[in-house]
Amino acid sequence: MIMNLLNEKNVVVTGGSRGIGRSICLEFAKEGANVAFLYAGNKDKAGETLTALCGMGIKAKAYICSVADADEVKKTFTDIAAEFGKIDILVNNAGITKDKLAVMMTPEEFGQVIDINLNGAFNCIRNVLPVMMKNKSGKIINITSVSGLTGNPGQINYSASKAGLVGMTKTVAKEYASKGITCNAIAPGFVETDMTAAFADNEKVLQTIPLRRFAKPDEIASLAVFLASSAADYITGEVIRIDGGLAI
């Protein structure tokens, strides 16, 4: 990959302290971007990620923020804009799961996942758009999921939230293309994270994936870097699967 593909760009990554979000932060930093990341409460993991970023010669800062809280998000984005001067790229990565079959799931469990995964992305997009419109440019990247495209037993809340992100992506792309803002989504399948560690070696699961392995977080991050770069300036409203052939 060409170094400094995103030199002097400022990126905001939600859920950036670990897993896919951490890899996205590090990959963007490798390409010269300054990184502001949001995290929900794991101070130790956030500190580790921030230390790694600061050692890469770019500007970085961590912000504790619940993306489901509209007021918190507004304040955080105001603080980021004041600290970094502009926001060129937003990556909506924050997400949770609370898996159960539909008949067993409580309204609270359904709502909690929608609040973080879908409402959280809306809150962030709503607050970054005025900054991007002022700049007459911007890149928004939403991390959705193959579950949002195909459905998945036990994940009615998660699948619904990720399907909602697909519709949100396409709508934002149509509304703001004339302002120089693109909006795309990445739909991963199984990825090697803490969330999937329990069944990463499950042969039954691997048999459903034509490439017979889980994705590495940095493979998702590399695609995010591409979509944030000038090489993807003519791509908007797309949902790109990165799933090893799972949803063929």
Distance CA 197, CA 189 (A): 14
The residue with tokens 């539909």 is 102
What token pair was written down for 61?
């800062």
DSSP letter at 151 equals -
Q: How far is CA 17 from CA 21, 95, 241, in A?
A: 6, 12, 23
What token pair was written down for 180?
């120089």
**158 counts as catalytic:** yes
- For residue 184, the cross-strand partners are 141
CA 81 to chain centre: 19
| Closest alpha carbon to 88 in 223, 242, 225 | 225
For residue 41, report the phi and psi dihedrals to the nearest 5 degrees. 170, -10
As annotated, the active-site residues are 158
